[in-house]
Structure 1
Amino acid sequence: MELHVTDQAAKWYKEEFDAEKNDYFRLFVRYGFGGRIPGFSLGIGRDTPYSEYASTNAEGINFYIEEKDAWYFDEHNLTIQMNEQGLEPEFIYDPNEPK
Structure 2
Amino acid sequence: MKIIVTDQVSKWFHNEMGLSKGRGLRFFGKVYGNTPVHEGFSLAMTPDDHPEEPYAITNKDGVNYFVSEDDRWFFKGYDLVIDYDQSEDGPRYNYVENGEL
Among 74, 78, 84, the residue aligned to 1:72? 74
Q: Which has the higher strand share?
A: 2
Counterpart amino acid of residue 45 in structure 1: T
Moved over 3 A (4+): none
Of 79, 83, 92 in structure 1, the residue corresponding to residue 94 of structure 2 is 92
Q: Give, in whole Å, the separation in 2 of the partners of 1:25 and 1:60.
A: 11
Gaps of 5+ in 2: none
Query: Does 2:47 match 1:46?
Result: yes
Q: Aligned pairs, how many?
A: 98
The Cα of 1:80 is off from its aligned counterpart by 0.4
Question: How far has the Cα of 1:16 moved from its partner?
Answer: 1.5
Which AA in structure 1 matches 2:41?
A: F
Percentage of matched positions with identical amino acids? 33
Counterpart for residue 17 of structure 1: 17
Match of 1:61 in 2: 63
TM-score (norm 1): 0.90
Q: The residue matched to 2:10 in structure 1 has which SS? A: helix
* Root-mean-square deviation (Å): 1.4
Unpaired runs of 5+ in structure 1? Answer: none
Structure 1 partner of 2:34 = 34
